[in-house]
Amino acid sequence: MGGDLIRGCAQNIGTFFAPFKQGNQNEYGWPALESLGICRQATGEWEQLLATGWERDDDKHTLTIKINKNAYFSNGYPLTAEDVVFTHRSRLEYGTGSAIGNPIAIETPDDETVIFTWADFSLKYELWVLPQFIYSQKVFEENGEDWMLNNIIGTGPYVVDTYTPDVLLKFVRNENYWRPEMMPPCDTMTWLYMPEVTTQIAAFLNGEIDCIIASSAEVVDQLLAAGYQAGSGKDDFNGQFHAVPLTITPEDPLANVNVRRAIFEHGIDWDELAMTVGGSVGYHTDCIGLTSMAYYRPEIERSRFDPELARKELANAGYPDGFSTVIYCGDNNTAGATVLQEKLKLIGVIADVQQVEATKMQSDYIGARATQTGICISGFAYPAANQTDRFIKHTNPTATYGPAHVWSDEIRALWDAVRTAHSQEEENEALYRYVECYVHKECAVWPMYNTRSATFFQEWCHYSDKARLSYGTDPFEVWVEAH
What is residue 43's predicted lDDT score, i.e. its pLDDT?
Answer: 64
What is residue 31's predicted lDDT score, i.e. its pLDDT?
Answer: 92
Query: What does the chain come to in residues?
Result: 483
The more confidently predicted of residues 198 and 361 is 198
Q: Provide the whole-model pTM.
A: 0.74
Q: Does residue 278 surpass a pLDDT of 50?
A: yes
Q: Does residue 234 surpass a pLDDT of 60?
A: no
What is residue 414's predicted lDDT score, i.e. its pLDDT?
Answer: 97
Q: Across residues 169-180, what is the average pLDDT?
A: 95
Percent of the chain clearing pLDDT 70 (strictly above): 90
Q: Does residue 470 surpass a pLDDT of 50?
A: no
Within the chain, what is the greatest distance between any pair of CA atoms? 70
Which residues are CB-contacts of 298 (< 8 A; sequence separation ≥ 6)? none
What is residue 467's predicted lDDT score, i.e. its pLDDT?
Answer: 46
Q: Across residues 251-267, what is the average pLDDT?
A: 97
If pLDDT is split at 50, 70 and 90, which confidence band does 98 have? confident
Q: How far apart are CA 241 and CA 129, in angstroms?
A: 26
If pLDDT is split at 50, 70 and 90, which confidence band does 19 have? confident
Which residues are CB-contacts of 31 (< 8 A; sequence separation ≥ 6)? 156, 157, 158, 171, 184, 189, 472, 475
If pLDDT is split at 50, 70 and 90, which confidence band does 56 have? very high
Distances in Å between the alpha carbon of 47 and those of 100, 272, 343?
A: 18, 42, 47
Helices 270-278 and 334-345: crossing angle in degrees, nearest 10, is 150
What is residue 101's predicted lDDT score, i.e. its pLDDT?
Answer: 86
Q: How far is CA 61 from the centre of its chain?
A: 26
If pLDDT is split at 50, 70 and 90, which confidence band does 469 have? very low
Q: Does residue 339 surpass a pLDDT of 90?
A: yes
- Amino acid at site 223: L
Domains, the chain, ordered by start = 1-33+156-235+455-483 (3.40.190.10), 45-136 (3.90.76.10), 238-452 (3.10.105.10)
What are 109-122's pLDDT values in tens digits? 999 999 999 998 88
Whether 295 contacts 432, CB under 8 Å: yes
